[in-house]
Amino acid sequence: MLTDTAVPGMLPGQEPNQEVADDFEGFVDYFAFDEDLLFRFPDGKQWISFKPLTEGGRARYEAKTSRDIKFNRRTDDAAISMDAASDRHALLIASVTGWNLVRKTPKGFQPVPFSKDSPGANFEQWLDKANPKIVNDLVDAIRLANPWMRDEMTVAMIDEEITRLQKMREEAVEREAVKKSS
């Protein structure tokens, strides 16, 4: 029971302005893994917010992207079907939490409300029409924020990425050669 001189939150016998020892000083709340990060678009004005995946988010993402391995007993061959686009989209949907994006309309630029996880949601519409380079950059930012994703890359996945980058390099070399000759 509080008396007229008691201050809420004070311990019995404690004088006002006397510090109370915190029994939990230095503890960390491991239930609160909650970090918002921003991916900025090239204009520097628009952005997408995302979160590194929690263990629960990771489990849901991995459940959506798991693949069956098929063995051929006659040839001892194994096959795994890969769907990079579905995996990329699942990661984006699991991680993205909001945005500040505008769309040009007949009335000028208008803010686009953020929505996802439903048919026709704005995020899914944007993802379908977005510049693939920007989507790749966003995916890379999300992967950097989730170190466990890099740890789980297989040699085959790394080789596939190297092949993709080598093709991009060859295209860039050709493009630069054309620019120099013209």
Which structural domain range is residue 143 located in?
39-172
Number of domains in the chain: 1
Question: Domain for residue 23, yes or no?
Answer: no
User: Is 25 a member of any domain?
Assistant: no
User: Is residue 160, in this structure, part of any structural domain at all?
Assistant: yes
Q: Residue 178 is inside which H or E element, if any?
A: helix 155-181
Which amino acid, residue 76?
Answer: D
Q: What is the pLDDT of residues 55-74, one digit of tens each?
A: 888 778 888 776 656 666 77
Residue 89 · residue 117 · CB < 8 Å: no
Q: pLDDT tens-digit profile of 76-119?
A: 776 655 556 778 888 999 999 999 999 999 999 999 999 998 87
Residue 3 lies in a domain: no
User: Cβ distance 53 to 146 under 8 Å?
Assistant: yes
Three-state secondary structure call for residue 4: coil
Which residue, 49, 50, 51, 41, is CA-closest to 102?
41
Do the domain assignments include residue 13?
Answer: no
Residue 118 inside a domain? The answer is: yes
33 belongs to a structural domain: no
